[in-house]
């Protein structure tokens, strides 16, 4: 008989000793010790047709499509995402981005860092999102 080991889940924590998150993220994401780690390259707003739209919201839409497809390609879901790094070259429309964010993550938010920078790898890119995941 094969023994069934209890598989630990990823835990998300917002300690009460510090201010709550200012956005939709968790201060701490704890991964089980035997988890396999996945690190992605930054995903950008290039469409499946290899075109880069001009507006940041259209790039956000494509970026989240690319993220969902990338996760699925490794049999991962948003539940596996432990950390998100976002870089943008112009102000993010947070209402729009959070709509995509909520569609992907629901209410179980990974840890997140956001930075505004002067440029990304191609001059027409306005947003890039990198993921860390565990399974």
Predicted confidence (pLDDT) at residue 3 exceeds the cutoff of 80: no
CA distances from 82 to 46, 52, 62 (A): 24, 27, 21
The pTM assigned to this predicted structure is 0.86
Are 70 and 109 in contact by the 8 Å Cβ rule? The answer is no
In the chain, the N- to C-terminal Cα span, in Å, equals 25
Question: Bigger pLDDT: 56 or 8?
Answer: 56
Q: What are the tokens at 56?
A: 């940041």
What are the structural domain ranges in the chain? Answer: 11-134
Q: What's residue 115's pLDDT? A: 98
- CATH architecture label of 11-134: 2-Layer Sandwich (3.30)
Q: For residue range 53-84, list pLDDT tens digits in order.
A: 999 999 999 999 999 999 999 999 999 999 99
Q: What's residue 7's pLDDT? A: 56
DSSP the chain: -PPPPPPPPPEEE--TTSPPPSSSS-SEEE--TTPPEEEPPPEE---TTS---SSHHHHHHHHHHHHHHHHHHTT--GGGEEEEEEEESS---HHHHHHHHHHHHTT-PPEEEEEE-S--SSTT--EEEEEEEE-
Q: For residue range 93-127, list pLDDT tens digits in order.
A: 999 999 999 999 998 899 999 999 999 999 999 99
Q: What's residue 1's pLDDT? A: 45
Res. 8 pLDDT band, cuts 50 70 90: confident
């Amino acid at each position: 008989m094969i023994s069934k080991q209890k598989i630990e889940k990823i835990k998300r924590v917002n300690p009460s000793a510090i201010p709550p998150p200012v956005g939709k993220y968790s201060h701490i994401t704890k991964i089980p010790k035997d988890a396999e780690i996945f690190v992605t390259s930054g995903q950008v707003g290039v469409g499946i047709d290899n075109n880069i739209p001009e507006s940041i919201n259209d790039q956000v839409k494509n970026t989240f499509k690319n993220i969902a497809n990338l996760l699925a390609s490794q049999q991962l879901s948003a539940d596996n995402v432990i950390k998100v790094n976002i870089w943008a070259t112009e102000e993010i429309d947070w209402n729009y981005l959070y709509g995509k964010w909520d569609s992907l993550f629901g209410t179980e938010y990974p840890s997140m860092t956001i930075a505004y920078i002067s440029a990304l790898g191609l001059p027409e890119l306005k947003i890039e999102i990198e993921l860390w995941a565990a399974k």
